[in-house]
Structure 1
Amino acid sequence: MSAVDVLGWAGSALLVYSVLQSRMLRFRVLNLAASGALVVFNALIGVWSMVAMNAALCAINAWFIVSLLRRRSTGTAFEWVAAAPDDPFVARFLGQHGADVARFWPAARTLPTLDVAPPNVLCALVLHGDVTVGLVVAVRERDAAGAGAWELLVDYVIPGYRDYTAGSLIYSPAGPFAARGAQRVVSTGVVAASVRPYLHRAGFALDGERWVRAL
């Protein structure tokens, strides 16, 4: 098999692999790489119609990548709406994604029986356009020293939308915590190892055994 054949097969395999991705940024980056490889392959064998098609795909993918990164950095990809832990929409979201939510945030298992007065609980659904893509739940810290502080129980976004970094909205002046006058958010429970990089990117810092985010 020649090097040109290897390039063609590799580009085709990468193209197929790219469409299996649930995360949009990963899909676009892999699809861009595959299309670029196929541009070179088809140019080498002289199939110019396929060169044109894959070049167009490269341009489309590049545009979406730039757009996604811009929206991620500005926090404009998401909106949020206030809810309650026993809200039917929250129940439906947990019915669909509860197992995955609990895998990252074990406290999610207690939400259906959460016994906290409404003023002391924050619950928000995260939206991307018309799609409900995430859930945030926190409770006000009980000790006097925790005035203005909220304990984070859940900060979850479904896999296909994690590249947008919802934390840029959730913990911003336009987010649900600022709307409740929070001064800081802490995570004191069990935090999955896979969640820690996200908390770090969202501005949390490890303080002893707690993750703390000043607002």
Structure 2
Amino acid sequence: MNFAELIGYAGSVVILVSLLMKSLVKLRWINLAGSLLFSLYGLIIKAWPVFGINAIIVGIDAWFLVQMVRCRDYFELSPLAEIGQEYFKKFFLYHENDIHAFFPDARFEQLVGTETYMLFRNMLPVGFLALRLDGEEARIVADYVIPAYRDFKIGVFVYDIKRMYFKQKGIKRFVAESGLAVHQRYLRRNGFRPDASRPELFVKAL
């Protein structure tokens, strides 16, 4: 197998991986990388149609990524009391399997008894935050965002932009417990730090 063939196979694998992405941003980035490899492959073997088509795809992916970066999203956090339990129940049941992949113990009846907020992005319901309050501490029962919007922007909105909102409610720290590596990365990205004695416990001071 020569160098050109390696580039071609690598491009095929990368494009295949891009189609598995649930996040549109990740899909665009990975697809761009795969098309770039295919463009290089076409250039090396002088297959100009292969080079041209994939170069155009690279440009299209780059254009969409620029638009995504420039787009100013509108976020909102609404208490369950304002939204209504029936609406939240439909949202929860529709996404129940995915919710349980991250929060296996989360049940609708349990969440109704917590301090629960629906999360909106550009007026679309994209997730929810459920807290159990204990004095100045808010323990996170569930912090869920649907797959297409897992780009950390909701986390920045909740834990940074809205921090004064929670401080005014008397909350001084968030506490989350997770054994999932992907969720732990999300927590770290949003300023949570692992507890020295319990590595699965993460704390963020407000």
The CA distance in 2 between the partners of 1:183 and 1:62, in whole Å, is 41
With over 3 angstroms needed to count, the CA separation of the structure-2 counterparts of 1:112 and 1:39, relative to structure 1, is: same
Q: Which residue of 2 aligns with 1:182?
A: 171
* Greater relative contact order structure (CA < 8 Å, 6+ sep): 1
The CA distance in 2 between the partners of 1:135 and 1:32, in whole Å, is 32
CA RMSD of aligned residues (A): 3.1
Q: Which residue of 1 aligns with 2:95?
A: 97
Q: Normalising by structure 1, what TM-score?
A: 0.75
With over 3 angstroms needed to count, the CA separation of the structure-2 counterparts of 1:108 and 1:128, relative to structure 1, is: same
- Contact 2:12–2:34 (CA under 8 A) maintained in structure 1: yes
- Contact 2:85–2:112 (CA under 8 A) maintained in structure 1: no
Residue 57 of structure 1: how far off its partner (Å):
2.2
Aligned residue-pair number: 200
1:43-192 equivalences under 5 Å are 43-65=43-65, 76=73, 78-84=75-81, 87-109=85-107, 111-113=108-110, 116=113, 121-141=114-134, 146-147=135-136, 149-174=137-162, 177-178=166-167, 180-187=169-176, 190-192=177-179
Query: Gaps spanning 5+ residues in structure 2: where?
Result: none
Q: Which residue of 1 aligns with 2:190?
A: 202
The CA distance in 1 between the partners of 2:77 and 2:123, in whole Å, is 11
- Kindly provide the amino acid, as one letter, of the partner of residue 129 in structure 1: N
Once the two structures are superposed, what CA deviation does each residue of 1:66-121 show, in whole Å capped at 9, x if it has no partner?
565677xxx94743333249612221121122233233224422x414574xxxx4
- Kindly provide the amino acid, as one letter, of the partner of residue 123 in structure 1: T
Once the two structures are superposed, what CA deviation does each residue of 1:27-47 show, in whole Å capped at 9, x if it has no partner?
222211111111112223444
- Kindly provide the amino acid, as one letter, of the partner of residue 170 in structure 1: V
With over 3 angstroms needed to count, the CA separation of the structure-2 counterparts of 1:9 and 1:204, relative to structure 1, is: closer
With over 3 angstroms needed to count, the CA separation of the structure-2 counterparts of 1:107 and 1:43, relative to structure 1, is: same
3-state DSSP of counterpart to 2:22: coil
With over 3 angstroms needed to count, the CA separation of the structure-2 counterparts of 1:15 and 1:163, relative to structure 1, is: same
Overall identity of the aligned pairs, in %: 29
- Contact 1:105–1:192 (CA under 8 A) maintained in structure 2: no
With over 3 angstroms needed to count, the CA separation of the structure-2 counterparts of 1:12 and 1:206, relative to structure 1, is: closer
- Kindly provide the amino acid, as one letter, of the partner of residue 32 in structure 1: L
Q: Normalising by structure 2, what TM-score?
A: 0.77
